């Protein structure tokens, strides 16, 4: 059963607000455009931009480590390059991520917001060419089946915001767990792009966080294990042939 693209998101800064998109152009063998291009390290992470290697997400300001970050709302304006960041009390800054002074402004804001919870100095890192701050080094693009999310919500008896799972593309119209039929290396067609299945996404405590309150209110990993005997939800894929995808496009695989 084919699915339909219900929503598309990028995450300009790892761990911060997902941003909705109406369309995106995917290029073969490349990461999802504008996704996780920046990350904020907590104390020295060991990341070397001249020799970039995968770094554990626990070295960064992410929801798995700092659930209160869900209360910080951010937005990158592509037309101006201005990055907006603010909290629920109206305190915030407008800055830039492509300048040293702009990144320092974001560092100061997050340092003040997290306070003593951040045990080390914060520093905004920019990804060098060919690298992104992904949870998995081969997680080029992530796709979530909304029917599977609803199946989990029904099993645990509470609504679940799909954005807890921080995917790039959310697809509706398939049966629950249809993605389990995609074996590693198989191909799917998403709009005008061709994707190759890599692996299911292993979930972590970031999915426990309520995106409105910044508190852990669902033990999602345990719920997946208790109700479905699994700790995965969603799929990582790579781009085998480039093309545009937009809202309403079809996923076939």
CA angle 4, 5, 8 (to 5 degrees): 170
Verify that 22 and 143 share a domain, yes or no.
Answer: yes
- The residue ranges of DSSP E strands in 106-152, in sequence order, are 122-126, 141-145
* Average of per-residue pLDDT values in the chain: 96
Look at residues 126, 152, 174 and tell me which one is the last residue of a structural domain: 126
Res 4 pLDDT > 90: yes
Domain that holds residue 110: 38-126
pLDDT recorded at residue 24: 98
State the distance between the two ends of the chain, measured CA to CA, in whole angstroms: 8
Cα(14)–Cα(36) distance, integer angstroms:
5
Per-residue pLDDT averaged across 55-76, rounded? 96
Distance of CA 156 to CAs 51, 130, 131, 159, 249, Å?
A: 44, 40, 37, 9, 31
Q: Which 8-state DSSP code applies to residue 186?
A: -
Cα(18)–Cα(32) distance, integer angstroms:
13
Verify that 143 and 227 share a domain, yes or no.
Answer: yes
pLDDT recorded at residue 89: 75
pLDDT of 72-82, one tens digit each?
999 999 999 99
Verify that 145 and 51 share a domain, yes or no.
Answer: no
Lowest-pLDDT range, 25-39, 48-62, 83-97, 145-159? 83-97
Q: What's the structural domain count of the chain? A: 2
pLDDT recorded at residue 212: 94
Residue 207 included in any domain: yes
Look at residues 126, 146, 165 and tell me which one is the last residue of a structural domain: 126
pLDDT recorded at residue 90: 73
Q: Which residues contact 67 (CB under 8 A, 6 or more apart)?
A: 208, 209, 214, 215, 216
Is residue 15 within 8 A of residue 60, CB to CB? The reply is: yes
Res 91 pLDDT > 90: no
pLDDT recorded at residue 120: 87
Cα(60)–Cα(114) distance, integer angstroms:
12
CA angle 36, 49, 23 (to 5 degrees): 25
Name which of 101, 93, 96 is nearest 82 in CA terms: 96
CATH number for position 143? 2.40.33.20
Res 41 pLDDT > 80: yes
Verify that 15 and 52 share a domain, yes or no.
Answer: no
Verify that 25 and 51 share a domain, yes or no.
Answer: no
If residue 223 lies in a helix (H) or strand (E), which one and from where to where? helix 220-228
pLDDT of 224-249, one tens digit each?
999 999 999 999 999 999 999 999 99
- Note the Cα 98 to chain centre separation in Å: 20
pLDDT of 191-208, one tens digit each?
999 999 999 999 999 999
Verify that 21 and 83 share a domain, yes or no.
Answer: no
Residue 131 included in any domain: no
User: Across-strand partners of 237?
Assistant: 141, 197
Cα(207)–Cα(59) distance, integer angstroms:
18
pLDDT recorded at residue 138: 92
Percent of all residues in the chain with a pLDDT value above 90, rounded to a whole number:
94
Res 48 pLDDT > 80: yes
Q: Which residues contact 106 (CB under 8 A, 6 or more apart)?
A: 13, 40, 83, 85, 93, 95, 97, 124
């Amino acid at each position: 059963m084919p699915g339909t693209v219900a929503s598309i998101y990028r995450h300009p800064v790892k761990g911060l607000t997902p941003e909705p998109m109406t369309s995106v152009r995917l290029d073969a063998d490349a990461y999802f455009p504008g996704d996780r291009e920046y990350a904020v390290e907590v104390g020295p992470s060991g990341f070397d931009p001249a020799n970039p290697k995968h770094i554990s997400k626990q070295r960064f300001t992410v929801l798995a480590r700092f659930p209160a970050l869900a209360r910080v709302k951010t937005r990158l304006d592509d037309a101006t390059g201005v990055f907006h960041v603010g909290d629920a009390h109206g305190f915030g800054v407008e800055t830039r991520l492509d300048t040293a002074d702009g990144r320092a402004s974001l560092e100061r804001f997050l340092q003040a917001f997290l306070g003593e919870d951040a045990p080390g100095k914060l520093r905004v890192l920019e990804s060098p060419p060919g690298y992104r701050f992904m949870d998995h080094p081969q997680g080029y693009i992530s796709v979530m089946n909304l029917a599977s999310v609803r199946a989990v919500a029904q099993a645990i008896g509470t609504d679940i915001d799909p954005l807890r799972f921080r995917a790039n593309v959310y697809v509706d119209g398939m049966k629950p767990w249809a993605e389990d039929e995609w074996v590693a290396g198989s191909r799917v067609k998403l709009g005008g792009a061709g994707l190759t299945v890599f692996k299911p996404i292993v979930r972590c405590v970031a999915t426990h966080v309520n995106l409105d309150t910044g508190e852990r209110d669902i033990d999602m990993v345990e719920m997946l294990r208790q109700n479905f005997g699994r700790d995965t939800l969603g799929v990582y894929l790579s781009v085998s042939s480039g093309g545009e995808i937009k809202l309403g496009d079809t996923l076939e695989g």
